[in-house]
């Protein structure tokens, strides 16, 4: 039974790490593309910024779902027999 708890905590830690790293990479790419495209066509900057915030919300939602799953694994332990 202890191994189930140990593997559950390890998987939760991996989920936290992957969600954090994935979100950081996505925001870096997204921000870089926003700056690049705003520099190429400054007249489209307000529209691009709106789309940036919309996509940033989607990126955050994906990581929040992962964190919620990790919290479920930590506190509810669905693999308990």
Specify whether 60 is catalytic. Answer: yes
Q: Is residue 12 part of a domain?
A: yes
Q: Is residue 79 part of a domain?
A: no
pLDDT in tens, 23-67: 999 999 999 999 999 999 999 999 999 999 999 999 999 999 999
Number of separate domains in the chain = 1
Q: Is residue 81 part of a domain?
A: no
Q: Is the pTM of this model over 0.85?
A: no
- Show the domain range for 33: 2-74
What's the token pair of residue 25? 């990479």
Of 35, 60, 68, 76, the catalytic one is: 60
Distance CA 55, CA 46 (A): 14
Report the Cα 65 to chain-centroid distance in Å: 8
The enclosing domain of 70 has a CATH number of 1.20.20.10
Q: Is residue 56 part of a domain?
A: yes
């Amino acid at each position: 039974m202890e191994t189930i708890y140990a593997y559950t905590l390890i998987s939760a830690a991996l989920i936290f790490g992957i969600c954090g790293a994935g979100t950081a990479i996505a925001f870096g790419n997204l921000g870089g593309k926003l700056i690049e495209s705003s520099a190429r066509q400054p007249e489209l900057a307000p529209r691009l910024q709106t789309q940036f915030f919309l996509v940033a919300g989607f990126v955050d939602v994906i990581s929040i779902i992962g964190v919620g799953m990790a919290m479920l694994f930590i506190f509810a332990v669905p693999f308990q027999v």
